[in-house]
């Protein structure tokens, strides 16, 4: 799974089991942070369009006249990840 494995030969080695579990826990934590990012950025986008509640996809797409600016999207997501992994609360975009 995502490059993490525990072979049958290693399955009896307590150190290998703990290493494998630590790797998987790290992977799951990063997946959870991606979900937090998705919620964070969608909320930001809706607020920038003037909405304070959820809207339908059709309504959302009708309001978006051009593709959103993506030049800083990767940097913003990276910074969000680094802050979350450090245990601090992320700054609001």
Q: Where are the domains of the chain?
A: 10-86
One digit per residue, the tens of pLDDT, for the chain of length 93 reads: 566 667 677 777 788 788 888 878 888 888 888 898 888 888 887 888 788 777 888 887 777 666 666 667 788 888 888 888 787 665 554
In a 10 Å sphere around its CB, with 0-12 CB exposed, 13-18 middle and 19+ buried, how is residue 12 labelled? exposed
Nearest in space to 1 (alpha carbons), one of 27, 29, 32 = 27
Contacts of 11 (CB under 8 A, 6+ apart): 17
H helices of 2-92, in order, are 14-48, 57-63, 73-86
pTM of the full structure: 0.56
Residue 56 has what pLDDT? Answer: 85
Are 66 and 18 within 8 A, CB to CB? no
């Amino acid at each position: 799974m995502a490059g993490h494995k525990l072979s049958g030969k290693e399955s009896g080695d307590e150190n290998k089991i703990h290493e494998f579990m630590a790797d998987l826990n790290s992977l799951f934590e990063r997946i959870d942070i991606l979900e937090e990012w998705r919620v964070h950025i969608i909320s930001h986008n809706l607020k920038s369009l003037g909405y304070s509640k959820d809207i339908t996809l059709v309504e959302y797409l009708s309001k978006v006249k051009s593709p959103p600016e993506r030049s800083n999207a990767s940097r913003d997501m990276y910074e969000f990840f680094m802050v979350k992994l450090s245990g601090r609360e992320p700054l609001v975009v």
